Amino acid sequence: MKGSLIILSFFATGLLLGIFRLFPSDILQYNTSFYVLCALMFSVGISIGNDPNSFRQFRSLNPRLIFLPLMTILGTWLGVITVGFFLNDRSLADCLAVGSGFGYYSLSSILITQYKGVELGTIALLSNIMREIITLLFAPWMVKYFGKLAPISAGGATTMDTTFPVIVRNSGKEFAIISIYQGFIMDFSVPFLVTFFCSLK
């Protein structure tokens, strides 16, 4: 929660400076953000490759629960497609790109801005922050009515960092590994899925 507030404040600061034109106008002319994005993706790659647990952690899983990330992805897509029918200004591919952030708001909004422009990028940022906040706030309710896997699925790509503590508290310690497993798989899939839906017309 604190992390997303800090991120939002950086976005808000930029927003205000932008509205009042308090910045050297060159910054946006050159592709500054594209190069920073490449540096970011390189660093994200390093953190995945450098973590010995990344590839090892998954042996102790209940075989059926391996499908949880797949359920998360399919469920999210069905949900945003349904909403997409009511949003006349957005194509289904746009809605699916936003949904495929799975709560990973920083990376998905940055990628979508790069491929599709600031308007959809802003939607992606707000939408994925909201998904994280919804998970943090409603995890107990989800467990009560939809079972112990529900908050893990709702948390999407955030289940090994920001929403992890809430999940362990509400679903139980025995779900910690599944939560980390899902977070890892989703973190890894977000760049591919978002890029894929942005490349559709």
Partner 1 sequence: MFIVIGCMLAGIAVGYFFRQQKIRSIHKIILALIWLLLFLLGLEVGANETVVRQFAKLGFEAFLLAVGGTLGSIIAAWLLWLSVRNKSLSK
- What is the footprint of partner 1 within residues 155-174 (CB under 8 A)? 156, 174
DSSP string, 122-190: HHHHHHHHHHHHHHHHHHHHHHHHH-TTHHHHHHGGGTTTTTHHHHHHHH-GGGHHHHHHHHHHHHHHH
When the beta carbons of 150 and 180 are compared against partner 1, the nearer one is: 150
CA distance readout (Å), 45 to 100, 133, 159, 188? 19, 26, 18, 9
Residue choice 5, 29, 50, 201 for contact with partner 1 (CB under 8 A) = 50
User: C-alpha angle with apex 22: 16 to 23, nearest 5 degrees?
Assistant: 110
Q: Which is nearer to partner 1, 1 or 78 (CB)?
A: 78
Q: Of the candidates 90, 108, 136, 170, which one interacts with partner 1 according to CB under 8 A?
A: 90
CB of 87 to partner 1, least distance (A): 6
74 contacts partner 1 (rule: CB under 8 A): yes
Write out the binding residues for partner 1, residues 97-156 only, by CB under 8 A: 98-99, 102, 106-107, 109-111, 113-115, 118-119, 121-128, 130-131, 134-135, 142, 146-150, 152-154, 156
